[in-house]
Amino acid sequence: MLGSNEEAYILGLWCADGYHRTSSFGLSNINLSLIQRFAGFLLKSFPKERLRLRGYIPRYYSGTLPSNLCKICSKISYLKVKKARHIAYQIYINSRPWLRKYRKMKADLRSIPEGKIIPYLAGRFDGDGSVARDFRKDTRIVYSNINEATTDKNLLGKIRSYRTKIYYYKNATTYCLYVSRYDAENFLQEILPFSSNLISLPRRD
């Protein structure tokens, strides 16, 4: 069961960019603020010593690395990757119970409480969503399979009458859930209080 809006957000973020192995539960992302938020959530239940952080650095990267990550994790390792274009991070814990818990919640998304749908979608949007600069056109969330895209479309449809469509891009082998430009601003305003990526939206008087 989802205990809070923050947990619903974390579930959405994990569904978008989750890292999981046999007993590992975590997040992979190039956005350091999302890594820090995910770590902050884990630190509410685990000591800092349980967290692991990996950084994947472009092979010829010569810039500086973040110096404040020791606040969220005591074990940090970096690996240079030949094909990497950006620094990517992976934060995780080794916990079979947590991995089982979140896998079950992902499998049961259709029955997520209505009050948790918006924060969940905010996490999904932060992980795999985007919008044009006018905050109307191309408001979308990207998925690797049709089932997850359809589930989220139906979840949003349970609580709002926003116009949405799913498109399949054959070359990229991805599915995109689009929110109509006529409803995009309202959708973004709803997820704004929970989102880490949407700092603010322009006012239209």
Q: Say how far apart CA 196 and CA 190 lie, in whole Å.
A: 13
The pLDDT assigned to 14 comes to: 97
pTM for the model: 0.92
The pLDDT assigned to 205 comes to: 42
Amino acid sitting at position 148: E
User: Within a domain: residue 14?
Assistant: yes
Tell me, yes or no, whether 88 and 142 share the same domain: no
User: Within a domain: residue 205?
Assistant: no
Angle at 78 between CA 63 and CA 72, to 5 degrees: 95
**Coil, strand, or helix at residue 97?**
helix
Query: Which of 106, 138, 156 is the last residue in one of the domains?
Result: 106
Q: What is the DSSP pairing of strand 76-81 with strand 52-58?
A: parallel
Query: Which of 106, 141, 166 is the last residue in one of the domains?
Result: 106
The pLDDT assigned to 199 comes to: 79
Q: What is the DSSP letter of 74?
A: S
Query: Which of 82, 106, 130 is the last residue in one of the domains?
Result: 106
Task: Give the domain range for residue 74.
Answer: 5-106
Angle at which helix 5-17 crosses helix 96-107, to 10 degrees, equals 90
Residue 191 burial by Cβ neighbours in a 10 Å radius (0-12, 13-18, 19+): buried
- The pLDDT profile of the chain, 205 residues, written as one tens digit per residue, is 678 999 999 999 999 999 888 899 999 999 999 999 999 999 999 999 999 999 899 888 877 777 788 888 888 888 888 877 888 999 999 999 999 999 999 999 999 999 999 999 999 999 999 999 888 899 999 999 999 999 999 999 999 999 999 999 999 999 999 999 999 999 999 999 999 998 766 555 4
The pLDDT assigned to 201 comes to: 64
Number of domains into which the chain is organized: 2
Task: Categorise residue 137: left if φ over 0, alpha if ψ from -120 to 50, beta otherwise.
Answer: beta
CA 44, 101, 7, 191 torsion: positive or negative?
positive
User: Within a domain: residue 134?
Assistant: yes
The pLDDT assigned to 202 comes to: 59
